Amino acid sequence: MAVVLLVLGIIMGIVYANLDLGITDDATRLAVKNASHQLELHKKNYEFKIGTLPENTSLEVLTKEDPNNPSWRPVSKEVVLDPWKRPYFICRDDNGKLQICSYGADGQPGGEGTNQDFKLTDDSSWPAWLKGGK
């Protein structure tokens, strides 16, 4: 009887862990997709009121007031953070266009899976996990 309960407990733990990871992945995907629209609007507003964001600039700049531009309203710090709580940054795509980017879960250039870099504002660069695949 104890062995049966142990086996059932292990099976339930595995099933629960897989369900929990699926929910977390879905929440992360939703957060990234929402951020892509929101940050693109904030970036355009910043560029209209203050100027172009240089390449490799952290989007934390969007959270700071500009004394020379009183009409600029900074955004909250949470808005500029990727799902791993690191600031998105400005990078260039293959055509030289400025994009909003993340280094993925590991925070380092390159990588695969959740560690893969992606351009938030270019969904063709999104890794499979972000597009809804595995």
At residue 3, the pLDDT reads: 64
At residue 108, the pLDDT reads: 94
> Tens of pLDDT along 32-64?
888 888 888 888 888 888 888 888 888 898 999
Torsion angle, CA of 127/117/14/30, rounded to 10 degrees? -70
> Tens of pLDDT along 77-102?
888 999 899 999 999 888 988 889 99
At residue 53, the pLDDT reads: 81
- Other beta carbons less than 10 A from residue 39's beta carbon: 19
Domains detected in the chain: 2-131 (3.30.700.10)
Reference 102, options 50, 28, 47, 2; nearest CA is: 28
- State the pLDDT confidence band at 12, using cuts at 50, 70 and 90: low
pTM of the model as a whole: 0.72
At residue 6, the pLDDT reads: 54
Rounded percentage of the chain residues whose pLDDT exceeds 70 = 81
